[in-house]
């Protein structure tokens, strides 16, 4: 029986060593994971220190995507960035968005004559767009990128927007019968 106890002791001892080796391996893996996390954190901290705007940008994009997910799906900002950003396409989006408020403007101002309402609306949206373009030019100038093709594209976009507004105003000023026929 002494041998069997001895064998059992060795078996227990061997099982304990295997268990201990498993614990050591798990502990070692956990320690390596912690080291990796610390290195990544240090790398991020160093990277952020040299470019805090990157963190701000990433945070803003993530939050905007979360806010727009229900309406526009996953990665709304990235998907919008893939849009045609030519001067004409950009102008078309600006004109479409701005003139899309005309009917709401008319409903809020039923006492105004058609011509007066259209004039007041067009003055308001043109004023807003002019202010927006001025601010955009100032920002681009401050970033020292307003020149060459960038300046030309801003100018072309502005011209397309103003022409789009003029076209909209001409269509809106047509008698209702002509609008329905078109």
The pLDDT, as a whole number, for residue 12 is 44
Tokens 């105004």 locate to 112
Q: What is the pLDDT of residue 28?
A: 64
Q: For position 69, what pLDDT does the model report?
A: 83
**What tokens does 12 get?**
């227990």
Helices 148-173 and 114-142: crossing angle in degrees, nearest 10, is 170
Q: Name the least confident of 19-28, 37-46, 120-129, 147-156.
A: 37-46
Dmax over CA atoms of the chain, in Å, equals: 113
pLDDT of residue 75: 83
Nearest C-alpha neighbor of 129 from the set 170, 104, 99: 99
125 CB-near residues (< 8 Å, 6+ apart): 98, 99, 101, 165
pLDDT at 7: 43
**End-to-end CA separation in angstroms for the chain:** 107
- Spatial contact of 157 and 91, defined as CB atoms under 8 Å apart: yes
pLDDT level of residue 181 (50, 70, 90 thresholds)? low
Quote the CA–CA distance of 43 and 37 in Å, as a whole number: 10
pLDDT at 61: 75
Q: Which CATH number fits domain 84-182: 3.40.1390.30, 3.90.1150.10, 1.10.132.90, 1.20.1510.10?
A: 1.10.132.90
Residue 36 has pLDDT above 60, yes or no: no
pLDDT computed for residue 11 by the predictor = 45
Tokens of 23: 């614990």
Average pLDDT value for the chain = 77
Domains of the chain, by residue range, sit at 84-182
Structure confidence by residue, pLDDT tens digits, 139-176? 888 888 888 999 999 999 999 999 999 999 999 999 87
DSSP annotation of 144 reads T
5 band by pLDDT with thresholds 50, 70 and 90: very low
């Amino acid at each position: 029986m002494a041998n069997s106890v001895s064998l059992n002791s060795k078996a227990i001892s061997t099982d304990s060593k295997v268990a201990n080796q498993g614990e050591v391996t798990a502990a070692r893996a956990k320690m390596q994971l912690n080291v990796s996390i610390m290195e990544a954190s240090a790398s991020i901290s160093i990277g952020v220190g040299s470019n805090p705007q990157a963190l701000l940008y990433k945070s803003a994009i993530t939050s905007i995507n979360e806010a727009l997910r229900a309406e526009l799906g996953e990665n709304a900002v990235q998907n919008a960035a893939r849009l045609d950003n030519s001067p004409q396409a950009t102008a078309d989006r600006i004109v479409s968005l701005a003139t899309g408020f005309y009917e709401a403007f008319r409903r809020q101002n039923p006492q105004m004559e058609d011509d007066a309402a259209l004039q007041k609306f067009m003055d308001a949206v043109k004023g807003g767009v002019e202010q927006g373009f001025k601010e955009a030019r100032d920002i681009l100038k401050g970033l020292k990128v307003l020149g060459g093709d960038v300046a030309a594209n801003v100018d072309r976009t502005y011209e397309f927007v103003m022409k789009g507004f003029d076209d909209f105003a001409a269509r809106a000023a047509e008698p209702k019968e002509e609008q329905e026929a078109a």
